[in-house]
Every structure is written in C-alpha cells, then in structure tokens.
Structure 1
Amino acid sequence: MFVGVGASRVRDLFNKAKANAPCLVFIDEIDAVGRQRGTGIGGGNDEREQTLNQLLTEMDGFSGDSGVIVIAATNRPEILDSALLRSGRFDRQVSVGLPDVRGREEILKVHSKNKKLDRDVDISVIAMRTPGFSGADLANLMNEAAILAGRRGKDRVTLKEIDDSIDRIVAGMEGTKMTDGKSKILVAYHEIGHAVCATLTPGHDPVQKVTLIPRGQARGLTWFIPGEDPTLISRKQLFARIVGGLGGRAAEEIIFGESEITTGAAGDLQQITQIARQMVITYGMSEIGPWALVDQAVQSSDVVMRMLARNQMSEKLAEDIDNSVRQIIDSAYEIAKNHIRNNRECIDKLVEVLMEKETLSGDEFRAILSEFTDIPSDNVNRKPIRELIEA
C-alpha cells in the first residue's frame, strides 16, 4: 500500500525547495535512508533503497545556479553509501567531535545561565571533571543538579548536587546502602585495592574519591579525575589503567584467599581485556610489532560492516595476539598483587576509615597513603588543566 511513498516525499521535498530558492534542505539522521546499498534481503529493491535512489537522483540533477544547498547530519558516517559522499553531492564533511575542556567550560556557562549557582561552584573545575561528556550530557548534568537542589530544599545549586549528578549520569542511580558486614568489608577492600594499585603505578590518573555507596550495578566505586584531556594516551598510561583495574581482584585474592574471590570484578576484567587487546591489535604496543593487525571494519560496532568485512588473519597471528594480550594482563596482575602485599598495613587503615565514612575524597585517601609509602610524583604533581591552558 505504501510502496514508493518515501521516494515520492523526496521528490516533493526538492520540488518545494526549488520553488523557494535560495533554500537550505537539512536532513537529520541521514543514515536511516543513506545506508550502504546491497546489504538487505530482497535483491536491493526494498523501500529504503528506493528512497535513497530518489535522493541521489534529485541531488545529481542540480544545476550550478539552483540556489538549493543540502546539509545532512549523522553520527555513523562509516555506513553511508559511497554514492552519497561523491563530489557534487555531500562533498564536504565537517566532523564535530566531543568538546575539549575549554569547550565544556563554555557549554556549561550556557546551560548554567538560568540557574542559581553557589559561589563555591567553579565551572572550570566541573569541566575538568567531565571528560568525554557531549553538549547534551552537560545540559543534562546541570538540569539534574538543579532538580536535586530543589528536592533537597536548597535555593542554589551547590558542588554536592553537581558531584551527585555526575555520579548519577556516569554510574546510574544511587542504590540502597549495604548492611551485610561481610559483603561491605569485601567491597571496601576491593575498592581500596583499585585506588592503591592505581595511585602507586606511575602514569595513572589521580583518585578523585572512593565510595561504598552502590550505583547502578556496582556495589562500590573508585573515581579518577584525568590530569588532562585524554586525546593522546601513552603506553605507560594504558598499562597503569590495567594495573589499577586489576587492583580489586588482586586485593580479594591476597587478603581473603583465592577461594574467596567474587564476581565483583567482572566489569573490571572486561575493561582491562579490551584495553590490552587494543594495545596489541590497534596501537601496536606489543612484541608483535607496530602494525595494525585487524581491519577497522572487522572491529566496527556495526553488524553489517562486520559481516561484509573479510578477516584475513591467520591462525598463527590470532594465537600470537592472544598470547600478547595475556602477557600484558599477567604482568599487570603480578604488579597489582605486589602492591597489595607490600602495603597491607596501609590498606587495612584505609578500609577502616572507608567503612566508617563510606566515602573518601582523593585528598583524604592520599594523605593516609602517604603516611605509609611514597606516591609516584607524576601521580601527584601533575600540572592542572588550568595551568596548561594559561601556558
């Protein structure tokens, strides 16, 4: 009944645009109709492909003085049909990435104009704390903080509301506090293990806070704040993240015994395995050598792209990759276990304080840790982002 409706609407759209020239035509989420042709079932004659063919025909028929400019947006440019991207159609591409620290600061100023902020709230500090946030995330952050302030009966948004909003956006809703003593102690050692191993490994981001308050699926959380925008990451930093990620499991094994390790490290193991695999196959940071070992299409998150891509990897190379990934993780795990063994007294003290307060700030954590051992200088004396910008 509706066959050809999409193509008909495209014709009507461009006829209307030509009648109103000069005119701008904006197509949002163009990947909905502009996906690569020939990937569907039915011999390429489905409704979506007819709509795309009509769009290609209309754009190809423009004369130089038609006065119609077509602009489109998508967050999946890799799956667009090649005919759409050729010269004469969408021949100019503008990539809009996630904002850097300066961009986040300016975006936060826009979204905080209509909100009353406490005088202690520093927009630049919030920008430092939110790497990887998009403009929509930052708008959501300020709205969540305003809602929390209203619920708590405050007439201004304070740092407490902003901190809680960041935690909620990143990790999920706050859960019910733990009452079971055994589980709480185990989670406390797990989180302190993360914090200690990360802080004592050169190259890791500083600890921002350690908490036993559950959020989402996590029973406890250790937060880190990057010293600078993570656009370029060194091998030392990636390896330090693996050591820090394994700190929780290492603490469980060393302190409670191998038979008492829990399922709490499942998310950590997924993250560190992904980092180690990327170090080997994408960044060339292993003994195999500095070359890309897997085609980008094979690693793509798009199912169709992965189906179309041919994986030409040999069995020997796949085995070498697995061995390299395991070697990176095994060496990191040994370092993590050594950190736990060598700092047992300090860890016990930190867990005691954490059990009492339920949340430790980064400064409180480092103050206690520095009483027992030296902290690597590059994990403490990093230049703040504000100094780097002014320099």
Structure 2
Amino acid sequence: EHADPLLKVTIIPRSSGALGYAQYLPKEVFLRTQSQIMDIVCMALAGRAAEEVFFDRVTTGASDDLRRVTELVYSTIQVYGMNSRVGQLAFPKDPNAAPGDKPYSDATAEAMDEEARRVVDEAYARTVELIREKRSEVESVAAMLLEKETITHDDIYDTIGPRPFEGDAAYQEYVSKRQGDKAKEEETEEEAVREEESKAEEEEDKGMGSGGLTPGLACMDVPR
C-alpha cells in the first residue's frame, strides 16, 4: 500500500552497467511509520522473491535492492527506535568513529543483528506469498515487458487494472491527469478516423456520380 507507485520500467541495459531501471512517483513524505517502511522493504525484495517463485533460483541482480533493504531495516532498529527488543534507543552512525568503535555492547549488537535478520525474513516471506498470490498478474506484466522492453504506468494499468489502494493526493492527481490526457488522445484519434471516413465517402460519391467511369471519360460520347 505504501510503496511508491511505478511510473516506468525498462529492461534496456544502461551505459552504467545496470540491466534496466524503474522510475517511481516520488512522495513528499517527511515522516514514515514502521508499516510504511516495511512496505518499501517488501517492494525492494520483490525482485529476489520473483526469482525464487518463477525460476527456483536466485541471481546477483538483487544486490542493490538487498543493500537498500539492509540500510532501511537497520535504521528502524538503530536509529528510529522501532524495535521492541532493542527499545527506544538511537545509535546513528558516526562517520568520524574509529573502526569497531560503537556506543553499545556486543550483546546489543548481536540483538540488532538477530532482529534485522528476523524482520527481513518476515518481509521476504510476505513478499513471496504476495507474488504467488498474484502470479498471473506478474506473468502478464513480465510478458508485456519482454515484448515492449519499456512499459509505463498506463501499460500496467491497462493490463492488470488500477492499484488496489487509492494512494496519496499526488498519485490521485497523476492518475486523473493521465486519464484526461488519454481521453484527449482517444478523441483526437476518433476525429482522425472520422475525417478519413468522410474523405473516403466523398471519393466514393464522386465515383458514383460519374457512373463509375474514370474521370474525364464520363462525358465522352460512346459510339453506338
């Protein structure tokens, strides 16, 4: 529900070495709840989970996603005080600290590691379950992406329908604008079709008016 809406995704490799990229609608959010962060974690784990569900093996493609997941989850534990076991404590990273220097005990560090692993495992299990539940939708989007190589929010909307959640004001505004633009495009296309049909009818009427003969021959005397 709280994951950023997808605007565009491509599998065309980039010069930076990336195998593609995804573009999302940014949210002007300054505060996030724990459930919102966990939705983002699940979204980041979706690529790795899809590999397991569809191919029964994993690749190195999710390395950047896993790095992001690790940072987010450890932040909830070490910085935001969102873990009941560690408690309402914050240990932000000190860039000037010496290697191995930390303001907490080894026991606390071990608890943080265990909690981070537990949280990620639960999020991963939730993501795998969701992908299995929505397997047909994932396959439809994947097939379209393989065919077109680049797809947009509108393509996904037309293929599997709207998001099951309303989204924030920015997303609703985006969808409303896109629907308006699409309606204008369809209206323009319909007008073009009507013009072509009108021209075809005019040409047909001209042909019938000359008795179906080639222009210039209709007025010639035919020998008897």
Task: Name the TM-score, length of structure 1 as normaliser.
Answer: 0.41
User: 1:368 corresponds to which residue?
Assistant: 159
CA distance in 1, matches of 2:62, 2:99: 35
Match among 114, 120, 126 for residue 323 of structure 1: 114
1:265 match: 62
Quick check: 2:86–2:108 contact (8 Å CA) kept in 1? Answer: no
- Aligned in 2, Cα 1:287/1:367: closer, same or farther, shift over 3 Å? farther
For residues 268 and 293 of structure 1, the distance between their equivalents in structure 2, rounded to whole angstroms, comes to: 24
Aligned to 1:233: 32
5+ unaligned residues in a row in structure 2: which ranges?
174-224
Q: Secondary structure at the match of 1:214?
A: coil
1:342 deviates by: 1.0
Higher Rg: 2
**C-alpha spacing 1:234/1:363, structure 2 compared with 1 (3 Å):** farther
Structure 2 SS opposite 1:203: coil
1:311 Cα deviation from its structure 2 partner: 2.0
Moved over 6 A (4+): none
Q: Structure 1 residues 266, 256: CA separation in 2 closer, same or farther (over 3 Å shift)?
A: same
Give CA deviations for 1:268-295 in whole Å, capped at 9, x if unaligned: 111101100001110011122542342x
User: How many angstroms apart in 2 are the aligned matches of 1:309 and 1:243?
Assistant: 30
Q: Say whether the 8 Å CA contact 2:49–2:124 is kept in structure 1.
A: yes
Q: CA RMSD in A?
A: 2.3
1:254 and 1:337 in contact (8 A); partners too: yes
Question: How far apart, in 1, do the equivalents of 2:21 and 2:131 lie?
Answer: 18
**Identity over aligned pairs, percent:** 29
Q: Compared with structure 1, are the counterparts of its residues 378 and 235 closer, same or farther at alpha carbon in structure 2 (3 Å cutoff)?
A: farther
1:318-369 Cα shifts (integer Å, max 9, x gaps): 1111111111111110111012111111111111111111111112213322
**Deviations 1:162-213 (Å, cap 9, x if unpaired)?**
xxxxxxxxxxxxxxxxxxxxxxxxxxxxxxxxxxxxxxxx111111111111
The CA distance in 2 between the partners of 1:221 and 1:329, in whole Å, is 23
Structure 1: gaps (5+ residues)? 1-201
Distance 1:385 1:369 in 2: 17
How far, CA to CA, are the matches of 1:351 and 1:312 in structure 2?
A: 47
Higher relative contact order (CA 8 A, sep 6+): 2
Q: 2:146 aligns with which of 355, 358, 368?
A: 355
Partner of 1:246 in structure 2?
Answer: 45
Aligned residues: 172
Matched, 1:220 2:20: yes
Choose from 85, 110, 115 the match for 1:288: 85
Q: Using structure 2 for the length normalisation, give the TM-score.
A: 0.70
